[in-house]
């Protein structure tokens, strides 16, 4: 039959490789949440609850992957912070683990030896970095220099560091 090289609504399967990314502390306190697909508040709350209880109850040295509904949960602990990324079932789990790791590296590069406090107090910066790194559930830029350069460029443009640090916002 003829082949149709344009949109065909009947067999469109959406791929969102990543569904959400959560950062939470050992006590289960949420530090950052990013949802790559639309979700209701209710769903979000349920997921956050499920994730913290599932991930925190894992034994050390067990597999970094979990099943949750039809998704795979990839989690990793860095110091006191858990990073937890949900991907589609057929995705590559190891790669997702490296996505988390790369994000941590980016944070580290930006904050310099990043700790949980940096992310708590500057959570909006953590979001900016994430938005340069991942976009709509896909890897956007994997080059560390590029990401930092664009973050810093935005930082620099309007506000000098001095101003940023010395004065409280108002």
Q: Which residues ranging from 134 to 163 are in contact with another protein (CB under 8 A)? A: 135-136, 138-146, 149-150, 152-162
Tell me the C-alpha to C-alpha distance, in Å, between residue 35 and each of 4, 62, 94, 164. Answer: 33, 26, 21, 29
By the rule CB under 8 A, 53 interacts with another protein: no
Separation between Cα atoms, residue 135 and residue 167, nearest integer Å: 33
Q: Contacting another protein (CB under 8 A), which of 78, 83, 113, 129?
A: 113
In the complex with another protein, which residue's Cβ is closer, 26 or 30?
30
Give the residue among 86, 66, 81, 63 at the shortest CA–CA distance from 134: 86
Instruction: Answer whether 84's CB lies under 8 Å from 75's CB.
Output: yes
**Minimum CB separation from another protein for residue 56, in Å?**
16
User: How far is residue 119 CA from its own chain's centroid?
Assistant: 13
By the rule CB under 8 A, 69 interacts with another protein: yes
Q: Which residues ranging from 28 to 47 are in contact with another protein (CB under 8 A)? A: 30-33, 37-41, 43, 45
By the rule CB under 8 A, 111 interacts with another protein: yes
């Amino acid at each position: 039959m003829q082949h149709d090289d344009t949109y065909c609504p009947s067999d469109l399967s959406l791929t969102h490789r990543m569904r959400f990314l959560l950062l939470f502390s050992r006590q289960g306190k949420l530090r950052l949440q990013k949802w790559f697909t639309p979700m209701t508040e209710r769903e979000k709350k349920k997921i956050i609850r499920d994730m913290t209880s599932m991930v925190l109850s894992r034994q050390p040295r067990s597999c970094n992957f979990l099943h949750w509904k039809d998704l795979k949960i990839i989690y990793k602990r860095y110091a006191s912070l858990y990073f937890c990324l949900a991907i589609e079932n057929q995705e590559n789990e190891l790669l997702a683990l490296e996505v988390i790791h790369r994000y941590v590296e980016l944070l580290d590069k930006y904050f310099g030896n990043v700790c949980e406090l940096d992310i708590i107090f500057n959570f909006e910066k953590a979001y900016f970095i994430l938005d340069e790194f991942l976009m709509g559930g896909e890897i956007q830029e994997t080059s560390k220099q590029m990401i930092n350069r664009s973050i810093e460029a935005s930082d620099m443009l309007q506000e000098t560091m001095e101003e940023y640090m010395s004065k409280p916002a108002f």
